[in-house]
Amino acid sequence: MKKIILSSALIVAFFIYVILQNFSGSKNVKITPPASEPVAVAESSGRSGGSGNSNQSGQKNRNMMMKGMTGLYKDGSYTGSVADAYYGNVQVKAVIQSGKITDVQFLEYPSDRSTSVYINGQAMPYLTQEAIQSQNSNVDIVSGATETSLAFRESLASALTQAQS
């Protein structure tokens, strides 16, 4: 008898919890697409604890803003480094025309499993589109293709570094 009462109490408590979460946790979130005009933004390396010189950072930001008026990058095709995506490697080539990213081509991506082929087939066009829209390597991560997305960012960042030199 005690087991039945305890089980019933747990089930009721669970349902109350779920109902409260649905009513209290649902906030309207508005997702806005990236701006159509690219904005020159200096990106950090993502590592903390380094000693950076603010004068150099400020100069780099000004240089990037000046480049933004004519395009951020030198025209050409730039191959990024190979990045590990857990289930395989990712390597991309950035195509720059008139100082802007016009295409990103996958040279290598995880494709030895049917699941990898399917997931990456869905993610790669989205990642390419995001990079062209944002004009940098800071693209949104594709849900379900997190490792590929992170490796894409790394390889594209490498290619774009070459295009800025």
pLDDT in tens, 55-68: 444 445 444 444 44
pLDDT value, residue 36: 41
Say if 141 falls within a structural domain: yes
Q: Mean pLDDT, to the nearest integer, of 28-56? A: 41
State the helix-helix crossing angle for 146-164 and 114-134, rounded to 10 degrees: 40
What is the pLDDT at residue 23? 63
Model confidence over 6-23: pLDDT tens digits?
888 888 888 787 777 766
- Residue 93: DSSP 8-state: E
Closest CA to 157 of 111, 98, 90, 62: 90
The domain in which residue 96 lies consists of: 74-164
For the chain, give the mean pLDDT: 79
5 falls within a domain: no
Q: What's the DSSP call for residue 31?
A: -
By three-state DSSP, how is residue 89 classified?
strand
CB count within 10 Å of CB 27 equals 5
Q: Has residue 56 been placed in a domain?
A: no
Q: Is the residue at 46 inside a domain?
A: no
Confirm whether 59 is domain-assigned. Answer: no
**Percent of the chain residues past pLDDT 70, beyond the cut:** 70
Question: Does some domain include residue 83?
Answer: yes
Q: Is residue 31 scored above 70 in pLDDT?
A: no
Q: Does the residue 10 lie in any domain? A: no
**Domain of residue 160, CATH code:** 3.90.1010.20
55 inside domain:
no
Q: How many domains does the chain have?
A: 1
Amino acid 16 reads: I
- pLDDT at residue number 70: 56
